[in-house]
Amino acid sequence: MSIILLDIGNVVVSVDFFTFCNAVAMDPVSDAQEIYRKYCIGELKDKLETGLIAPFEYLEVIARDPHSRTMPLYELKHRWQNIFELQQGAVEAVKQLKENHSVWIMSDTDPLHFTFLLNNFPLLRGADRYYLSFEHGKMKNSVEAFEHVLESSGRGADEFILIDDKPENCASALTVGIESIQFQNWEDTLDLL
């Protein structure tokens, strides 16, 4: 029985940051693009996802941005969290994975997103273990994230298979000897196991 390192975003759930950007932008076109560029990709978001910035500190920065509409922090938080939708076939696929493998969640995420995901997508609650970037400070595009998994688990690289949508994360896993499947859809992914 191998251990599946299962990504969440665009594997178990789809992620649409523009839902957030459009909801908080002063101008739903130009300001939404600017909010996306500043807060949904890049170095500042990576700091949030590696625990270097506290979630509410991050939201306060967005709230003060001149491209953002004025709204209560709790509404901004809700809009930041409510950007996910279950991927087609994910529930059945994760159930099937658990029949033959141990499933460990490995995700680049922040505490607000992860809490929302656990509360709204029950299939994520049954993982055997969680490796979350905001807890250990390493993103999956770095080899160190996978070295951390191996060191902290005491397991060999040959015991793991990563399922992830990003090629750079798959490449990092392969660097330490962890086999990976770049996710396209659940049918193809399950056929490769």
Domain ranges of the chain: 3-14+86-192, 17-81
Q: What is the CATH number of domain 3-14+86-192?
A: 3.40.50.1000
pLDDT greater than 80 at residue 192: yes
Exposure on the CB side of residue 59, measured as CA atoms within 13 A: 21
Average pLDDT over the chain reads 97
Greatest distance between any 2 Cα atoms in the chain = 52
| Local confidence band at 29 (pLDDT 50, 70, 90 cut-offs) | confident
At 39-48, the pLDDT tens digits run: 999 999 999 9
Average pLDDT over residues 28-49: 95
| Local confidence band at 153 (pLDDT 50, 70, 90 cut-offs) | very high
To the nearest whole percent, how much of the chain has pLDDT over 90?
97
178/162 Cα distance (integer angstroms): 7
At 59-81, the pLDDT tens digits run: 999 999 999 999 999 999 999 99
83/120 Cα distance (integer angstroms): 11
CB-neighbour burial class of residue 7 (10 A; exposed 0-12, middle 13-18, buried 19+)? buried
Q: Are 112 and 53 within 8 A, CB to CB?
A: no
Q: What pLDDT score does 136 carry? A: 96
